[in-house]
């Protein structure tokens, strides 16, 4: 029997009250339905400092414990879902920082971008796709853009029902994640 691919969910937002984590929690069952195991990689929990390695990541030299731990977690994945909000027409600094820490671990990794925002996070997704292609991530399909509606938020701008928000894009998410799982499974067979 072949092993189930391990698909990481990289939660790109780190604010104390955020949409990112409850949305990421909803992606777990979609990944599992697609035949893979989900691994939550929440940047708010990783607490990576701003890049503090002396040598560039392409050197492969890692000296700090947090760099080594982050590298090991990414290396252990067979595929990745990058989950990003749209911050001022781009993706969050914490996500760029987490990407910049590594090089070889990203290369060839099947992945999809899932974004959210008032226009579905399309600017953030486009910017992130450009960077991920540059570092050699194997993006599968066009990803998924999840647009907010005003009724998604209460008067204090907290999302009222993250499962309902994700459910509106469930078919698209399932199709996108299935592409990542299929590519990840192919890589597992090839090894």
Return the half-sphere exposure (C-beta side, CA atoms, 13 A cut-off) of residue 105.
Answer: 22
With binding defined as CB under 6 A, does residue 165 bind ligand FMN?
A: no
Footprint (CB under 6 A) of ligand FMN, residues 13-52:
13, 15, 18-20
Q: Which residue's CB is nearer to ligand FMN, number 67 or number 115?
A: 115
Q: What is the 8-class DSSP label of residue 90?
A: B
User: Residues touching ligand FMN: how many (CB under 6 A)?
Assistant: 13
Does residue 152 belong to the site contacting ligand FMN (CB under 6 A)?
no
Q: Per CB under 6 A, which of residues 1..20 are in contact with ligand FMN?
A: 13, 15, 18-20
Distance in Å, CB of 109 to ligand FMN, minimum:
23
Residue 86, number of CB atoms within 10 A of its CB: 22
- Distance, CA of 189 to CA of 66 (rounded, Å): 31
How far is 17 from 60, CA to CA, in rounded Å? 35
Strand-pair category, 110-117 with 79-85: parallel
Residues that bind ligand FMN (CB under 6 A): 13, 15, 18-20, 85-89, 117-119
């Amino acid at each position: 029997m072949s092993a189930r691919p391990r698909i990481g969910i990289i939660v790109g937002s780190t604010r104390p009250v955020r949409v990112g984590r409850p949305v990421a929690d909803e992606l777990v069952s979609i990944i599992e339905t697609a035949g893979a195991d989900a691994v939550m990689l929440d940047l708010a929990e990783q607490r990576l400092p701003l890049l503090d390695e002396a040598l560039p990541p392409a050197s492969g030299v890692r000296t700090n414990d947090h760099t080594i731990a982050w590298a090991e977690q990414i290396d252990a994945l067979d595929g990745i879902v990058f989950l990003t909000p749209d911050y001022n027409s781009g993706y969050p600094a914490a996500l760029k920082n987490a990407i910049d820490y590594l090089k070889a671990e990203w290369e060839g990794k099947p992945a999809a971008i899932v974004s959210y925002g008032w226009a579905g996070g399309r600017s953030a997704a486009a910017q992130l796709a450009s960077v991920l292609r540059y570092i050699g991530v194997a993006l599968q399909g066009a990803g998924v853009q999840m647009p907010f509606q005003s009724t998604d938020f209460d008067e204090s701008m907290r999302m009222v029902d993250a499962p309902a928000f994700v459910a509106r894009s469930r078919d698209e998410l399932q199709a996108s994640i299935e592409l990542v799982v299929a590519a990840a499974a192919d890589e597992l067979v090839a090894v």
